Amino acid sequence: MKNSHFIQLLKSQFDLSENGEKMLEPRIKKMLMPKGTPLLRPGEVCRHIYFLESGFLRLYVNEEQQQTTDFGCKGHFCAAIESLLQQSQSEEGIICETDAKLYALHYYDLLVLEDLSLEFVTLSKKILSHYLLRINQEKRIYLKGNAAEKFQHVCQHYPGLAAHIKHKDMASYLGITQQSFSRILKESLSKG
């Protein structure tokens, strides 16, 4: 099976059946994307849900300034959710921060699968719930935590990301200046 890593994850974490596997397999596109490749630009419609087998993705707004809004790493699903669900122009872009191995499922293929089997309605709900729980957890940390705590959270939930992301992009995600991020990084390295 060319998409076995992705299928195995769905089977283990989201209870995908063998019949579901057979229906899903031909609709998944495995992609090897080089660093710097845009998967989505602001203003485009997000048509795919991506699952990362390896590498890092970065979501951002504003093509020129690129304010970082989120990351994706190994084992994560990634999409510009609002654009995907509404099939409307996205404010966000998605770019490969490293070489990435990922799987793409087209939004309309997901709708077809949902029409064919209730299993995919349930699967979609579980994946969306998983994503919303992660976003809610991050929201609490970002409301209550300082920049150092936010950075620690990023390091725990996106292992290895800090070594691959530009300081300006991490600083924009944390809502601080590059100089402040450099201090946090230096303190973090001296502790670890």
CB-CB contact of 68 with 173 (8 Å): yes
Domain extent for 133: 4-143
How many Cα atoms occupy the beta-carbon half-sphere of 119 within 13 Å?
A: 16
For residues 61 and 137, state if they share a domain: yes
Q: What's the one-letter identity of residue 80?
A: A
Over range 70-75, report the average pLDDT: 91
For residues 139 and 149, state if they share a domain: no
For residues 8 and 93, state if they share a domain: yes
For residues 32 and 117, state if they share a domain: yes
For residues 45 and 112, state if they share a domain: yes
- 12 or 93, which is more confident: 93
For residues 124 and 100, state if they share a domain: yes
For residues 12 and 61, state if they share a domain: yes
Over range 162-187, report the average pLDDT: 91
Q: What's the pLDDT at 2? A: 62
For residues 128 and 172, state if they share a domain: no
Average pLDDT of the chain to the nearest whole number: 91
Q: What's the pLDDT at 102? A: 95
CB atoms near residue 68 (< 10 Å):
20
Length of the chain: 192
For residues 16 and 83, state if they share a domain: yes
Report residue 192's pLDDT band, with 50, 70 and 90 as the boundaries: low
For residues 134 and 181, state if they share a domain: no
Report residue 52's pLDDT band, with 50, 70 and 90 as the boundaries: very high
For residues 70 and 118, state if they share a domain: yes
For residues 130 and 149, state if they share a domain: no
Question: pLDDT tens across 80-103, in order?
Answer: 999 999 999 999 999 999 999 999
Over range 64-71, report the average pLDDT: 88
d(CA 184, CA 192) in angstroms, rounded, equals 12
CB-CB contact of 31 with 38 (8 Å): no
State the DSSP code for 51: E
Give the domain CATH number at 35.
2.60.120.10
Question: pLDDT tens across 92-151, in order?
Answer: 999 999 999 999 999 999 999 999 999 999 999 988 898 889 889 888 888 888 889 999
Structural domain total, the chain: 2
Q: What's the pLDDT at 3? A: 61
Over range 37-59, report the average pLDDT: 96
